[in-house]
Amino acid sequence: MGTLLLEVFPLVRTATSDPHVTMAPHRTVRHTVRPDQICLLTFDRPGSAANILDQRTLAELNEELDFIERQPQLRGVVLTSAKRSIFIAGADLNILGEEVPNVAARKLIEFGQSVMNRLAALAVPTVAAIHGAAVGGGCEVCLACDYRIASIDRATKIGLPETQLGLLPAWGGSTRLPRLIGLPKALEVILSGKTLAPKLALKSGLVDELAPAEYLLQQAVKMISRGKPHRPNRWLWNNGLVAAVLAARLRPQLMKRTRGNYPAVLKALDVVTLGISTSIPRSLELEREGVLELLQTEACHNLVRVFFLTERARKRTAGGTMPEAEPKPIARAAVLGAGVMGAGIAQWLSARQLPVILRDVNTEQVAKGLSSIAKVYQEGVKRHIFTPTEARAGLDRISPAPMEVPLRRVDLVIEAAVENLEVKKQIFQRLDELAGDDTILATNTSALPISELAAGTRRPERVVGLHFFNPVHRMQLVEIVVGRQTAPEVLQRALRFVQQIGKLPVIVKDSPGFLVNRILMPYLLEAGRLFAVGASVVELDEAILDFGMPMGPMRLLDEVGLDVALHVAQTLAASFSDRMTVPESLVKMTQAGLLGRKSGRGFYVHSKSKEAMPNPQTASFVRDRRAANWPRLELQERMLLLMINEAARCLEEGIVSDAEDVDFAMIMGTGFAPFRGGPLRYADALGATKLVGAMEHLVDSGAPDFKPCALLRNLAAKQGTFYHNK
């Protein structure tokens, strides 16, 4: 359970017989008061790196407010955290699960609001000294204080991400934030669900001051002497007329962006705009009713599940058990290949404090890689992800190597060369000679067999796949591909490495296309087939956007590059010829140089100054027009059925160990609609019987690729589910 610790720094405690003033080890709260009569409240959840808010934490905070209210000599209160990189990471989502009765959820929300109200109503000044993440409920605690001061550390971020979980801020965040910074800025923060870096938080008015972490407490104590704040009256923005205008303007924009698939965003808009022109008690009531309504939605349930799957990936171990000894961390790395993927991987590693050798065949190729890395750092500085100093230090950690260099002191080599099996085999044979005995040899291939690469080395047990996704600095997923001879300790070390660099791992068996590309490719191939028989590029993309994907299949093909997609498709079609065939149109477009964004033309015409438009040249690649007038739902169903079928087949074949891995990988690797929970969770929502019936109907109509796999047929026969009522 979350805990709140009221801690006195190396100062004396106030003499009192109050029972809450205790140092008993079983207590999660203790307090002392400084000699200058300032009380320091320090959040510190025992046995955890993070602070969270749960029933016990709120109850203990409430008790401590009792104590503070009984101490007339106090001059003020400073809230802080004992954690290295967390202030408060929000509410404990376990208490908001779908199994929680509505009555219990209502009581918890009301209690949380009551505690925040008491904190906000204290007679003495209060300051939140924020170092690390203050998000969700943690941000709402800060909003209930009179002042907020944040450290300038990159670990510090502040915001209200509830809409990304299908919820809205309901412990006062939807009420207090607009009153603090004004309605337009508050809507931007709440509706986007984004967290702000310290400088952006200061600029928005969310925090009052910034300070180095080592001086944070000292500066917070000084703020107490200002007394209660006199905030500017924001009546110009915070009134019913402005709220109505903003709501009318934003609603259609949000509907266009979400297609109605994310009810939390629209509900938050209603709650914030209605609440700003009413009393605080009424606004808090709107928060309660809004979040209780959202807690009943399937979108909320699935988004919370995705959150837990993310936490699971960050903490998982190979085989589900802890190793006897912690794997040796990766301290030095090398990347072979300075193209798009190699440069992206090198940039990410250097930004995570790892020295990296960037190797390619000549100076020109290495220089191109360094140039693209510099652009990523420059963009990161603009977006306040890096300071200029951090960006320069990151670049300095990269050692360019246009010729062969010794690799014996390198812990990990990641090969990211051209997707050609014979070329990669030669590279691995040479790496086997250059690398040290304990060096892990990894490949970033997206589809080629790991075990074949390993077979040409003297020690195949140290070869593993680390498949990053493009663009590396934005995509969180990494597929860890286990070859036939990959040693368990190599897998465990690779897993720890992926977690060490802040990526999210999924462990997959060595098989053509691994997991994500294996599931994605039938969907893309079907989109290509539908295009070839007359379905328009726009209708195909719109059908999938309606479903909730961030990008349609034709636009995705353009972004990936038709040549790259064709290579993966041909690799998989060679292994799964019974159900995967490459559309002739894809081959001909590639031969014609219509490669997508990289060539300026593909299914769309791409321009830096204009929005992408359908490419009229593609009409010559349409074979007939039989699908020209098919409704979007039919197009959507055909593409998604193949994805679900292949996802079930991957589980059936043991490519991954459970349904959660399938869904998590597809959400993080392809953007599969998170509010639907992933392809297998979505399959459970539809029901296996309905799915199998739809697939068999298509088979009977002359589309053998839709033959349902054995696992789906068995589930349909038994009325079973992938998740077994999880």
Listed in sequence order, the DSSP H helices in 594-631 are none
Tell me how far CA of residue 227 lies from CA of 73, 123, 221, in angstroms.
14, 10, 11
- Cα 434–chain centre separation: 37
Nearest to 521 by CA among 474, 566, 468, 476: 566
**Distance between CA atoms of residues 352 and 349, nearest Å:** 5
**Distance between CA atoms of residues 506 and 660, nearest Å:** 10
- Cα 51–chain centre separation: 20
- Cα 664–chain centre separation: 11
* 3-class DSSP state of 711: helix
Within 13 Å of residue 261, how many CA atoms lie on the same side as its CB? 20
Amino acid (1-letter code) at residue 482:
V
Q: Which two tokens stand for residue 320?
A: 């589900």
**Distance between CA atoms of residues 111 and 106, nearest Å:** 8
Tell me how far CA of residue 265 lies from CA of 188, 367, 460, in angstroms.
11, 44, 50
DSSP letter assigned to residue 658: S
Tell me how far CA of residue 331 lies from CA of 206, 315, 355, 360, 401, in angstroms.
38, 20, 7, 21, 18
**Distance between CA atoms of residues 99 and 76, nearest Å:** 40
User: Rounded to 5, what percent of the chain is helix, strand, coil?
Assistant: 50, 10, 35
Beta bridge partners, 195, equal: 159
**Distance between CA atoms of residues 185 and 197, nearest Å:** 15
**Distance between CA atoms of residues 45 and 87, nearest Å:** 11
**Distance between CA atoms of residues 510 and 449, nearest Å:** 6
Whether 588 contacts 596, CB under 8 Å = no
Q: Is 606 designated active site?
A: no
* 3-class DSSP state of 477: strand
Listed in sequence order, the DSSP H helices in 193-297 are 198-204, 216-224, 240-258, 263-275, 280-294
Sign of the CA dihedral with 673 first, then 674, 680, and 685 last: negative
**Distance between CA atoms of residues 69 and 60, nearest Å:** 14
- Measured from the Cβ of residue 187, the count of other Cβ atoms closer than 10 Å reads 22
| The total number of residues written for the chain in this structure | 726
Q: Which two tokens stand for residue 219?
A: 């500066």
**Distance between CA atoms of residues 224 and 38, nearest Å:** 8
In the set 31, 131, 301, 467, the catalytic residue is: 467
**Distance between CA atoms of residues 527 and 538, nearest Å:** 11
**Distance between CA atoms of residues 375 and 182, nearest Å:** 35
* 3-class DSSP state of 410: coil
- The 3-class secondary structure across 16-59, one letter per residue, is CCCCCCCCCCCCCCCCCECCCCEEEEEECCCCCCCCCECHHHHH
**Distance between CA atoms of residues 280 and 278, nearest Å:** 7
Whether 147 contacts 249, CB under 8 Å = no
* Pair type for strands 412-415 and 398-401: unpaired
Separation of first and last alpha carbons in the chain: 23
**Distance between CA atoms of residues 3 and 184, nearest Å:** 34
Residues assigned a catalytic role: 467
